[in-house]
Structure 1
Amino acid sequence: MNSGTGTITAGIDGSRASLDAADWAAREAGRRRLPLRLLHADIRHRVPARVPDVDVPAGCTRSALDRAAVQLSYAHPALDIAGRDTETPAVTALLAAAGESETLVLGSRGRTGHTALAGFLPGSVALAVAAAAACPVVLVRAGELPGDERESTLVGTSPSAAPYLPVVLGLDLEYPADDLIGYAVEAAAVRSAPLLVVHAWTPRAYDRRAPAVPSDGDAHDQEATRRRALTGTLRSWRHKFPETPVSEQVVHGDPGDHLLKASTGAGLLVVGRRAGERLGRAARTVIQQVACPVAVVPHG
């Protein structure tokens, strides 16, 4: 995984969805004490950016990048915000930015007629970038609000004072990459939130001798073995982050389905992608259907 240069980058296209994603990125930058960089790749509205610029005279036309920066600077006055406008095609520009960022944040377009259940359309810019970026890419659904990542509060209580919802990590024990686990643990730590690590397994597709459904004895033995392996994999991370509660879940069945269930009530879902490979089936499933932001983390 690319170590980045200590910045959070958000892609801006002028849509409401991208502004929601940029606001999530601003909150994440604040949590991690990093600067926020905005990137606007839209050849139709190329205007030199002044970021942030809250003193533009009334009636002066601002670019989408300027408008986003002004809104974010009001909402996050202590945050270091800068931006860049480019004529480079969006996917190319965003992939280049990923090589210079710690995290890249993008918004969804949503599914027509299902705004409340917006996912990420296959073939969209967000999906294409998540499948090839050198750094973690966080995909934020349209309509995501600050309160959505925190527990419900009593009437009259400030949502910003509520605890964060859990972070969920989907982990394949064949590739328990430190980059992937580290991202999830750190995400939970900066939120003072618990981390749930989910490992879902099925018999290997290429092993024709493995039954589609293991016998009770086989399933019990394999599950016990995987539980021990998962506990061992996470042991050093528990020592490194002693104040972050880490729980484990080992289940038999389709990883995508189990991750969707586990992410119900989560504030962030983290999944991996092997560097140089396309998104796996489980990652595609959760990207298209999950209700919370999802981070796709490349690893070796």
Structure 2
Amino acid sequence: MVAGVDGRAESLAAAGWAAREAVCKGRPLLLVHVWSRSPFSLVSVAANTAQRSEAERVLNAAADRIAGTCPGLRIETAQVEGPAVTALSRLADGSELLALGRRTKRGMAGLPGGSVARGVISRVKRPVALVRAGEGQERSAEVPRSRDVVLGIDLGHPCVEVIDFAFEEARLRRCGLHVVHVWGDPRPTEGEAQRIGPVEGGCREEERVGLLTAVLKVRRDEYPDVPVIESVRRGNKSSSLPRVADGAGLLVVGHRLGKQSHLGPHGSPTISAVMQHARCPVVVVPYS
């Protein structure tokens, strides 16, 4: 498990969330601070020294905080030179999961309010957790058990990795899993229209209900202790998923690697919406 920390409340929340995940899964936790070397030779030595000193302070403070709530967890720290997207992407691909803080105010940059988080998600082949300030602050190493995991599923691409991740999280948390398929987004793209999935027609919603049940059957048999609720809703995914996940413990969504949209290579409207509006931690699971 890896968590990016920069001293802000969002990153500390992400580190706390990742720590509980690490305890639950029996993994160590690596706390990482990314900084950029000064390009100006006259001030580079002093500036770089100051950045290293600040990075050490931030990392030590985060490690001490986590050690107090997760005794016994093996915590490592590392300073890494930027650019942030490149450094974090490299670390993420070598880990089980990367956790980053998530700002919810539109237009704010930084770690990882918008551009950094989106850039990392667009590159990595491992799950990325996005955590708001206020989450991950429990005074216990236990992962919260009372709130369900919500999985947003695309029946056009029902990826095994995404489904497996959600079922396993629900099992670890000893909670229910609410699987939601939202359909009916206006103006589907040409690529979406060519997907293999439910046929159009008068029984379209009923067919989607049946397809969702069929897609989940194998995993439901493998996870008999995970209560599952299946929902098919007509609407817009970008607005529906954050509403469905309101009050949940975790929202899991998939991200198709290399997918292009009118917002750019990492500008999925659904991912953007859940980053902005979901009130619970979000895990973006990549698939091909």
Q: TM-score, normalised by structure 2?
A: 0.81
Q: Identify which range, 188-197 or 272-281, moves more after superposition.
A: 272-281
From 17, 37, 48, the counterpart of 1:24: 17
Q: Which secondary structure does the structure 2 equivalent of 1:231 belong to?
A: helix
Cα contact 2:24–2:142 (8 A) shared by 1:
no
Question: Is the partner of 2:229 in helix, strand or coil?
Answer: strand
Cα distance change of structure 1 residues 91 and 160 upon mapping to structure 2, 3 Å threshold = closer
Partner Cα distance (1:276, 1:106) in 2:
21
What percentage of residue pairs aligned between the two structures are identical? 40
Question: 1:295 corresponds to which letter in structure 2?
Answer: V
Match of 1:4 in 2: none
Distance 1:88 1:122, change over 3 A: closer
| 2:278 maps to 1:294 | no
Distance in 1 between the 2:267 and 2:97 partners?
17
CA displacement at 1:69 relative to structure 2 = 1.2
The structure-2 alpha-carbon separation of the partners of 1:35 and 1:162, relative to structure 1 and needing over 3 Å to count, comes to closer
Letter in 1 for 2:86: T
Residue of structure 2 aligned with 1:257, choices 239, 243, 253: 239
Q: Does 1:272 align with 2:254?
A: yes
Rate the CA distance shift 1:162–1:14 in 2: closer, same or farther, 3 A: closer
Tell me the alpha carbon deviations over residues 206-243 of structure 1, each in whole angstroms, 9 at most, x when there is no partner. 58xx9xxxxxx945x00111111100000000111110
**Of 46, 60, 72, which residue of structure 2 is paired with 1:66?**
60
Q: Distance in 2 between matches of 1:143 and 1:12?
A: 15
- State the shift of 1:88 in Å: 2.5
- The within-5 A match list for 1:169-184 is 169-184=151-166
Native 8 Å contact 1:273 1:279 kept in 2: no
Point out where structure 1 has 5 or more consecutive residues left out of the alignment.
1-7, 50-61, 115-119, 149-157, 211-216
Residues 23 and 141 of structure 2 are in contact (CA less than 8 Å); yes or no, is this contact kept in structure 1?
no
Q: Which secondary structure does the structure 1 equivalent of 2:123 belong to?
A: coil
Q: Give the secondary-structure state (helix, strand or coil) at the position aligned to 1:41.
A: strand
| Deviation sequence 1:102-135 (CA, Å, 0-9, x none) | 11000023428x9xxxxx7432x22322232221
What value does the CA root-mean-square deviation take over the aligned residues? 2.7
CA positional deviation for 1:16: 2.1
- SS of the residue corresponding to residue 286 of structure 1 reads helix
TM-score, L = length of structure 1 = 0.78
Seen in structure 2, the aligned counterparts of structure 1 residues 48 and 19 have a Cα distance that, compared at 3 Å, is closer
SS at the partner of 1:67? Answer: helix
Contact (CA 8 Å) 1:46, 1:87: kept in 2 or not? no
1:138 matched to 2:125? The reply is no
**Counterpart AA for 1:128:** G
Query: 1:166 and 1:80, CA in 2 relative to 1: closer, same or farther beyond 3 A?
Result: same
Question: Is residue 26 of structure 2 the alignment partner of residue 33 of structure 1?
Answer: yes
Is the CA contact 2:243–2:278 (under 8 Å) kept in the aligned structure 1?
A: no
Following the alignment from structure 2 to structure 1, what is the Cα–Cα distance between the partners of residues 149 and 143? 18
